[in-house]
A = this chain, B = another copy of it.
Amino acid sequence: MSRVVKLAVIPGDGIGPEVVAEAVKVLDAVTAESDVTFDKSAFSLGAGRYLETGDTLTDDDLAAIAAHDAILLGAVGGVPGDPRLKDANIERGLLLKLRFELDHYVNLRPSKHYPGATGPLADPGDIDFVVVREGTEGPYVGNGGAIRRGTPHEVANETSVNTAYGVERVVRYAFALAARRRHKLTLVHKTNVLVHAGGMWKRIVDAVASEYPGVDVDYLHVDAATIFLVTNPGRFDVIVTDNLFGDILTDLAGAVTGGIGLAASGNINPDGAFPSMFEPVHGSAPDIAGTQKADPTAAILSVALLLDHLGLVDEAARVTRAVEDDIASRDGARTTAQIGDAIAERVQA
């Protein structure tokens, strides 16, 4: 019985199209002989589209994307400081809008140190953890505002909104994941300062913990968590945290495990009401766009997350293994396409 997966592909800006091309290459290779077909439709979205048409994400775009089974995104964002983008906010209007509208409440970001990957730590040790970052609440909700803008009396506020509904569902996801992994869950927040939001997160984690007696739970303030990420990252298994802290911790985790060129992510709607979206953690890096210098590995590992999410666990494992082998045998510079080719070959071997 053959299965067709409708995949929306958003290459985006900068290095986005280059890394997505390799990710698709690997996806095609790993499914070449299987009974799953990916029916892909490309969406032209990002700074490029904005500059052409003035649109960031129209209702029609959103409806069309939502009609797919999953989304693969490269990277979006124009050249920093481009005066034509002064009034655009591609990040909010496109990336965050997709995450919010498609209710991607789990932002899943695995961090693994692959043998051969070189990072800044003298002794990285065994690093293998997953950050479960909340994706639809917190300081990201856009509930801010300013009065007396541009005057010496300006007041600019940002409100972090957190709901028991929103926190509980992501906390449950994190516990279920920890129960399938090494049975350790770390809540990261700043409960001593953000007493209302932090207090609620803590209470909900404690409540759900009682249903998972086999999972060890600990708590770290976000500042202390950054210390452990560089001094003892091996202590972590599953980290659950809010939208902003998760953003910060996962960039740091990416750097620590060998660079943001390897960090993959899934924006997941576990309920399946909306398509989930898979993307490298890195940005559009317009400075190296078109030079074939970008590492497509993060995009390719995002394909592994996508396959896993679709239940294609064997295919996912083959992609991950191919990436591992590729990293272990790296020496010398290769182009974006050469890395993609090498990994695509390995998945077929």
Chain B contacts for A226, CB-based, 8 A: 226, 248, 251-252, 255
Complexed CA–CA distance, A92 and B160 (Å): 19
A145 adjacent to chain B (CB < 8 Å): yes
Counting chain A residues whose Cβ lies within 8 A of the other chain, the interface size class is 35 or more
Complex CA distance for A176 and B121, rounded to whole angstroms: 34
What residues of chain B lie closer than 8 Å to A123, measured between beta carbons? 120
Assess whether A224 is interfacial by the CB under 8 Å rule: yes
Q: Are A160 and B158 in contact (CB under 8 A)?
A: yes
In the complex, chain B residues whose CB is within 8 Å of the CB of A140: 193
A153 to chain B, nearest CB (A): 6
Whether A157 touches B160, Cβ cut-off 8 Å, given contacts A144-B194, A223-B247, is yes
Q: Is A192 close to B, CB under 8 A? A: yes
CA distance A122 to B118 in the complex (A): 10
| The residue from B149, B244, B255 contacting A230, defined by CB atoms under 8 A apart | B255
Within 8 A of B (CB), among A203-252: 203, 222-224, 226-227, 230-231, 244, 247-248, 250-252
Say whether A190 faces chain B, with CB atoms less than 8 Å apart.
Answer: yes
Residue in B91, B192, B231, B254 whose CB lies within 8 Å of A227: B254
Contact present for B255 and A193 (CB under 8 Å): no
Q: Is the CB of A162 within 8 A of B156?
A: yes
Taking the closest CB of chain B, its distance from the CB of A218, in whole angstroms, is: 10
Q: Is the beta-carbon distance between B150 and A161 smaller than 8 angstroms? A: no
Complex formed: what's the CA distance from A186 to B302 in Å? 32
Give the residues in chain B near A190, CB-CB below 8 Å: 244, 247
29 sampled A-B residue pairs with Cβ under 8 A: A89-B195, A92-B195, A120-B121, A120-B122, A121-B122, A121-B230, A142-B195, A144-B194, A144-B195, A146-B199, A149-B200, A152-B168, A153-B165, A155-B164, A156-B196, A156-B200, A157-B197, A158-B160, A159-B160, A160-B160, A190-B247, A193-B244, A223-B251, A224-B251, A226-B226, A226-B248, A226-B252, A227-B260, A248-B248
Q: A139-B158, A146-B199, A155-B162 are in contact. List 7 more A-B contacts (CB 8 A).
A: A91-B193, A120-B123, A139-B139, A156-B162, A157-B161, A159-B160, A226-B251
A-B pairs with the 9 shortest C-beta distances? A223-B251, A144-B196, A154-B164, A226-B252, A91-B192, A122-B122, A156-B196, A156-B200, A227-B255
- Measured CB to CB, the residues of A under 8 A from B are 89, 91-92, 96, 120-123, 139-140, 142, 144-146, 148-165, 168, 190, 192-197, 199-200, 203, 222-224, 226-227, 230-231, 244, 247-248, 250-252, 254-256, 260
